Chain A
Amino acid sequence: MPAVEVSRLAKRYTSTAGISDISFTAERRAVTALLGRNGAGKTTTVEICCGLRRRDSGTVRVLDRDPVAAHQELVQRVGVMPQAGGSSASGIYPSARVREVMELFAAQYAHPLAPAALLERLDLTSVAATPWRRLSGGEQQRVSLALALVGRPELVFLDEPTAGLDVHARRTAWDLIRELRSSGVAIILTTHALDEAEQLADAVVILDGGRVLATGSPADLTRGTTPELHFTAPPGLDVAALTAALPNDATANETAPGHYAVGPRVDPEVIAAVTAWCAQHGVMADNLTTASRSLESVFLDLTSAEGSP
């Protein structure tokens, strides 16, 4: 039995806003990442699964229960980290200290993690006595993550858990999420960081305009894409002239100032032609690499082809 099964889920806010047809499955002992542009419907989907919002239609099974009918059972088994700065703000008493909030939440569960150890693990010991409203944005995010985990849940919903985290804190959060998975917890998270999804997720669900565009593992989604050639050079190279010099229908683009990509397929002839052209024009091509497309470039293609939500 999967951790979460969502089928034909719909919720309308207005005639245009909302989600219209979401189906996906999230396995146990796995990280499932919901991806999508702002307004794609990630938070709506997650909050319906947590029983925080009501659906209009469709079926949702969370740990094989209905999230509305079995709410009181599921709150014991499921941890939730709501999106920060969303419509419902932080969800924490502004004047309560970090340690107090942790202990308050811990006191609700039968076998909680030790608040002090969890704080230590997330580098929050130094702010344990600080009132919530005086925490930095990233510190609030980490406390919020800790609160979702303190009750030793079987399943956690993390809505943008690493938004606003510094590089170190993001690594710490990733390690913790991986450790949760290996301990047998099912994790459903949303993120805008495609590298994060690529690193962490066993399965990815790409939403757009309230629908599912694609599902699969990051490897599935990037497989079949042929390698591209990337290099950096002074901005403003004449890519049309370069393209004209390339064999096998290859084309060159400047993806960002000074960053060039050659595709759709590269082979030794194309690489030779690119370097020859650069030599002719006295251009030093740096960071010359070939690689399959990243999840990010697949995501960009998928979501722009469908237009904005």
Chain B
Amino acid sequence: MIALDLSPAPGAAPALRTFRAQALMELKLVLRNGEQLLLTIVIPTVLLVLFATAPIADLPKPRIDFLLPGVLALAVMSTAFTGQAIGTGFERRNGVLRRLGTTPLTRPGLLAAKTSAVIAVELLQVGLLLLVAWALGWSPHGSVAAVVGLLLVGTAAFSTFGLLMAGTLRAEATLAAANLVYLVLLVLGGVAFPLSDFSGGVRDVLQYLPISALSDGLRTVLAHGAAAPGRDWLTLAVWTVVGGTTAARFFRWD
């Protein structure tokens, strides 16, 4: 029989150790989930290659310069919103969040770990997409700091809504709704088709979607080498604040 020292020695680990373990776990779970990888890695990459090489839509030239920013925005949405909503929704349904609530892990700690895992996956996605785009003839321009900044606010905006959905709807409803939103925003958000394809009034509304603001902002920086419009930054910031406060108010842990 293995001797164990069962005498009480309670106490929480240093926050950094807890955070590292939790973030690694979150990352492993995402990378192990086939459906999520399809959504986050395969679909954006295939879209980029397909639309850049096949004469599918009438896109501004060079096609890759138009496509890459939209597909980057899609990649961010797929991880921060769709993947996170579904993953967290099922964690809530399976009682994982509730059980973690009986351990020293704090809610801010859990949120930090989840966010880090999201950012790690996004690094993979962005790296892969940039590599593919480069192979397809894209040459880098624009401010790196602006691109990183936009990707981070975009991540914040999408994360708050992903968590809001996960914390309020049933897991099955989250699964359906998160995929639906992904699909709708893919079509309406200026990802693979320019918003100018829509009529004026519709376009005025669509440009305030978080995905449109992110792809438009990235496009201004990456394709035109200009500064992203203040309207795009502001749009993403407002979505983040609205999503964040609503999620903080209505998120249910069980």
Contact = CB atoms under 8 A, between A and B. Distances in A.
A77 B7 CA distance: 12
Interface string A134-162: 00000000000000010111100000000
Nearest to A181: B6
B18 to A, nearest CB: 5
Interface residues of B, number: 36
Interface stretch (B95-103, B142-150, B234-242): B95-103
A223 interface: no
Q: Which of A50, A77, A151 has the most CB of B within 10 A?
A: A151
A110 B254 CA distance: 27
A93 B25 contact: yes
B11 A111 contact: yes
A103 interface: yes
Contacts of B94: 89-94
A124 to B, nearest CB: 11
Contacts of A100: 25, 28
A109 B99 contact: no
Contacts of B101: 51-52, 75
B106 interface: yes
Contacts of B7: 152, 183-185
Nearest to A172: B1
B61 interface: no
A80 B10 contact: no
B96 A92 contact: yes
Contacts of A89: 93-95
A104 B29 contact: no
A96 interface: yes
Q: Determine the main DSSP class of A at the interface with B.
A: loop
A76 B11 contact: yes
Contact of B103 (A75, A95, A118, A121): A75
B22 interface: yes
Q: Which of A51, A89, A120 has the most CB of B within 10 A?
A: A89
A36 interface: no
A118 B4 contact: yes
Nearest to B100: A91
B21 interface: yes
A52 B20 CA distance: 25
B25 A104 contact: yes
B105 interface: yes
Contact of B6 (A93, A120, A179): A179
B54 interface: no
Contacts of B91: 93
B84 to A, nearest CB: 15
B9 interface: yes
Given A95-B33, A96-B29, 4 more contacts: A52-B102, A77-B8, A93-B91, A153-B8
12 contacts: A75-B12, A78-B102, A90-B95, A92-B99, A95-B29, A104-B25, A107-B13, A111-B9, A113-B4, A121-B1, A149-B6, A151-B104
